[in-house]
Structure 1
Amino acid sequence: MPTNAFVLGAGGVNTGDIIFQLVMFIILLALLKKFAWGPLMGIMHERENHIANEIEAAEKSRQEANKNLEEQRQLLTEARQEAQGLIENSKKHGEEQRQEIIAAARAEAERLKESAKREIETQKEQAVTALREQVASLSVLVASKVIEKELSVEDQQKLINDYIQEAGEQR
């Protein structure tokens, strides 16, 4: 058996191999940390930051979309109110025009009615005047004929009818 200070009893545990393996393991960990874990952790941090930025951007977009939606709702409400106001204003204006047209038509009808009444009255007066003139003329003619000769009642009636017929034909 070799006399080695690092060798323990009969089980054969070699301390030199253990230390060597331990040193190699530490060197392996240092190399992994420098070449694998460092870049891997950097990539993981970059990915984490990228995801956080994307989440933040998505949240901002969502908030902007909600803001735009609310603005659109408000604009739609205002547009509906404005449209309702325009409709009501148009109805009111239409009603006013209808009333004005009705009033103008009634005034025109009343004016035409009064004009027709005046014309009828004028023509009536002219007819009465013409009739009086004819009656006076006939009366004078009848009186002159009666004075010229004495007539019987039948002759007077015939004479009056003849003169009325003559006056109607002259007209």
Structure 2
Amino acid sequence: MSFVPSTFIISLIAFGILYFLLQKYAFGPLFGIMEQRRSHITSEIQTAEQNRKQSEQLLNEQKEAIQAARKDAYDMIEQAKLTSGKQADEIIQLAKAEAARLKEEAIRDIENEKNKAVASLKSQVSAMSVLIASKIIEKQIDEKSQEQLVEHYLKEVGGNQ
């Protein structure tokens, strides 16, 4: 192999022309397409990252909303328990007060009826006493007859009670 300077120069010029043409018509558009592809992939990665962050944020918001709903439900249940307990206590207190009122009323009625019965008995006893006295005065009887008459009237008074 021998070195021929003219062939070397022609090869060098041919290589330069080929490089120029490739640079102008092939490498430029190819590198442009590759750059577009790289920027497209980069933007897709950024979009995916933003979507992932938004998804995480929405997931956290939903978790917080669920926790808040659970807390609200728990608070409502506790409030309902307290309210029902208070209402039950109020109903029991009202029932006790009503029972006490009815008992006092019944005791007053019994006392009134007792007083009426005692008054009636007193009037009957006094009427009987007057009747016995008048009978004794009318009949001047002996002691034995008088005792029998008193016992008879006492039995009669005892039977009327």
Report the TM-score when normalising by structure 2: 0.79
Shift of residue 35, structure 1, vs aligned partner: 1.9
Whole-angstrom distance in 2 between the partners of 1:47 and 1:80: 48
In the alignment, structure 1 segments of 5+ residues that lack a partner are: 1-10
Paired residues in the alignment total 157
Q: If you compute each CA radius of gyration, which structure gives the higher value, 1 or 2?
A: 1
Shift of residue 14, structure 1, vs aligned partner: 4.7
Q: Is the 8 A contact 1:142 1:159 kept in 2?
A: yes
Give % identity: 40
Report the TM-score when normalising by structure 1: 0.75
Whole-angstrom distance in 1 between the partners of 2:61 and 2:154: 101
* Residue of structure 2 in register with 1:53 after alignment: 43
Whole-angstrom distance in 1 between the partners of 2:23 and 2:10: 20
Q: 1:106 aligns with which of 85, 96, 114?
A: 96
Whole-angstrom distance in 1 between the partners of 2:2 and 2:79: 109
Which structure has the highest helix share of the two? 2
Q: Is the 8 A contact 1:142 1:160 kept in 2?
A: no
Considering only aligned residues, what root-mean-square deviation do their CA atoms show, in Å? Answer: 2.6
2:151 is the alignment partner of 1:157: yes
Task: Indicate the SS of the match to 2:132.
Answer: helix
Whole-angstrom distance in 2 between the partners of 1:31 and 1:132: 148
* Residue of structure 1 in register with 2:58 after alignment: 68
